[in-house]
């Protein structure tokens, strides 16, 4: 009997006479490899497969070479990652204490494809895990998701895929039962993608602004979704930001307001607005030190340090039309400051960024830059040390 506990190594399998059978079961994977006969070596080899995992148990029953067989059982919890993607939904679920992502798309020279797979990410253990609800929304990109902390549900709206086009369906995900429900409210915002969405925890509403449409000016409407009544309500504020898509919104709990930054009208923008649900009012902020214009950027609110963190985004003229800068916005002073970590993610647009309060760090995954480079790496940003840390990349 041979027992090993190793964080990362190469499993090298050599056989010149037999086939290999691999069976993969559940999220804690069980691999059964049967050779007749088999050599397991850490040296020269003919066939090699790389596994990355945390704990491995090897049980080898060796019978004299030339007899019936050797059975090699590997218990594995492997460190998978989602395939590279852009424009997907992402939230932090405090019930799971995980980042949850759904869907998105991938673009390369062969074309554009969309996904409807679902994953969780544990920042503390640096572990991605695919999960399998029995019912899911159709594959799409351009969707937005927010977490309703009062009702402990994730709300998804809209998106696009080639078969259907733009969408305006509303789905609710319950992480405790691992179930999606298409809630089909009687009234919904019009078909769209790349809208801005945010949750207001004081009034228990999901707030939606703007979005992309294929014909005519982009949307500048404001809507609220109430989970308990399963209803969308258009709010009709007297003043609004100009119609746009690819903007980002976060909730500022200190000032009890929603902050919107950037987006694309006919050109990229770098204005900042705040929305107060209580009196249904948009107000443009007078800010100093603004970043370059951009849309499809990453943006989160750091609830421990009470700052807004912005990374990257699309900006015409940047390498690959994508930025790689990191900015901090202080909502108490309305001052922007660019910071310069010693390392950082490569330039990109349409990543997901989520704030993980359990680690007090922002999580970034994926994104895209021209020409046709879809990304699948995971990074963590710490405001306290002003540092980006590379965690892992997609191997698929």
Band (pLDDT 50/70/90 cuts) for residue 396 is: low
Stretch 143-172: mean pLDDT: 98
Please identify, among 19, 51, 78, the residue that sits at the C-terminal boundary of a domain. Answer: 78
Residue 4 falls inside a structural domain: no
Query: What pLDDT score was predicted for residue 126?
Result: 97
Minimal CA–CA distance to 125: which of 153, 150, 159, 97?
A: 97
Q: Do residues 160 and 184 make contact, with C-beta atoms less than 8 angstroms apart?
A: no
Query: By residue range, what is the domain housing residue 20?
Result: 11-78
Please identify, among 45, 78, 111, the residue that sits at the C-terminal boundary of a domain. Answer: 78
pLDDT at 61 over 60: no
Residue 340 falls inside a structural domain: yes
What are 231-251's pLDDT values in tens digits? 999 999 999 999 999 999 999
pLDDT at 279 over 60: yes
Query: What pLDDT score was predicted for residue 80?
Result: 86
Query: What pLDDT score was predicted for residue 43?
Result: 31
Residue 189 falls inside a structural domain: yes
Are 63 and 116 within one domain?
Answer: no
Are 196 and 301 within one domain?
Answer: yes
Query: What pLDDT score was predicted for residue 65?
Result: 37
Are 69 and 155 within one domain?
Answer: no
Stretch 378-395: mean pLDDT: 95
pLDDT at 71 over 70: no
pLDDT at 50 over 90: no
Bridge partners for 61 per DSSP: 71
Bridge partners for 148 per DSSP: 153
Are 55 and 94 within one domain?
Answer: no
Query: What pLDDT score was predicted for residue 228?
Result: 98
Question: Please, what sign has the CA dihedral across residues 295, 187, 132, 147?
Answer: positive
**Taking the model in full, what pTM does it have?**
0.82
Please identify, among 32, 49, 78, the residue that sits at the C-terminal boundary of a domain. Answer: 78
Read off the CATH number of the domain in which 323 is found: 2.120.10.80
Whole-angstrom distance, CA of residue 222 vs CA of residue 103:
24
User: Count of residues for the chain?
Assistant: 396
Tokens standing for residue 86: 């852009």
Instruction: Please state the domain count of the chain.
Output: 2
Are 108 and 71 within one domain?
Answer: no
Query: What pLDDT score was predicted for residue 48?
Result: 28
Are 183 and 300 within one domain?
Answer: yes
Residue 5 falls inside a structural domain: no
Are 38 and 163 within one domain?
Answer: no
Residue 6 falls inside a structural domain: no
């Amino acid at each position: 009997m041979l027992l090993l506990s190793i964080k990362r190594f190469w499993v090298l399998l050599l056989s010149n006479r037999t086939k290999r059978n691999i069976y993969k079961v559940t999220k804690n994977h069980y691999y059964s490899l049967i050779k007749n006969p088999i050599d397991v070596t850490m040296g020269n080899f003919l066939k090699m497969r790389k596994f990355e995992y945390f704990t491995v148990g090897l049980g080898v029953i060796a019978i004299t070479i030339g007899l019936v067989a050797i059975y090699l059982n590997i218990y594995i919890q492997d460190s998978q990652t989602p395939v590279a993607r852009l424009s997907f939904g992402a939230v932090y679920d405090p019930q799971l204490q995980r980042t949850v992502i759904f869907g998105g798309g991938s673009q390369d020279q062969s074309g554009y494809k969309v996904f409807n797979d679902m994953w969780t990410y544990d920042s503390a253990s640096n572990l991605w895990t695919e999960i399998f609800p029995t019912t899911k929304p159709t594959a799409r990109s351009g969707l937005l998701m927010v977490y309703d902390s009062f009702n402990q549900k994730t709300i998804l709206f809209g998106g696009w895929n080639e078969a259907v086009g733009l969408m305006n369906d509303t789905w609710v995900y319950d992480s405790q039962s691992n179930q999606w429900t298409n809630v089909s409210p009687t009234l919904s915002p019009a078909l769209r993608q790349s809208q801005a969405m945010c949750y207001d925890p004081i009034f228990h509403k999901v707030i939606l602004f703007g979005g992309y449409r294929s014909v005519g000016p982009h949307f500048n409407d404001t809507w609220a979704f109430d989970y308990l009544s399963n209803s969308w309500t258009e709010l009709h504020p007297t003043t609004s930001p100009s119609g746009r898509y690819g903007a980002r919104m976060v909730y500022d709990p200190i000032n009890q307001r929603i902050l919107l930054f950037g987006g694309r009208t006919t050109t990229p923008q770098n204005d900042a607005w705040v929305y107060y649900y209580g009196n249904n009012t948009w107000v443009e902020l007078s800010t100093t030190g603004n970043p370059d214009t951009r849309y499809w950027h990453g943006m989160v609110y750091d609830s421990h340090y009470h700052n807004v963190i912005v990374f990257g985004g699309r900006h015409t003229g940047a390498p690959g039309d994508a930025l790689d800068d990191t900015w901090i916005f202080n909502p108490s002073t309305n001052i922007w400051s660019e910071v310069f970590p010693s390392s950082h993610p490569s330039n990109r647009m349409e990543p997901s960024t989520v704030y993980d309060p359990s680690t007090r760090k922002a999580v970034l995954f994926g994104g895209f830059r021209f020409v046709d480079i879809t990304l699948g790496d995971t990074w963590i940003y710490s405001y306290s040390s002003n540092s980006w840390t590379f965690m892992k990349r997609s191997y698929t």
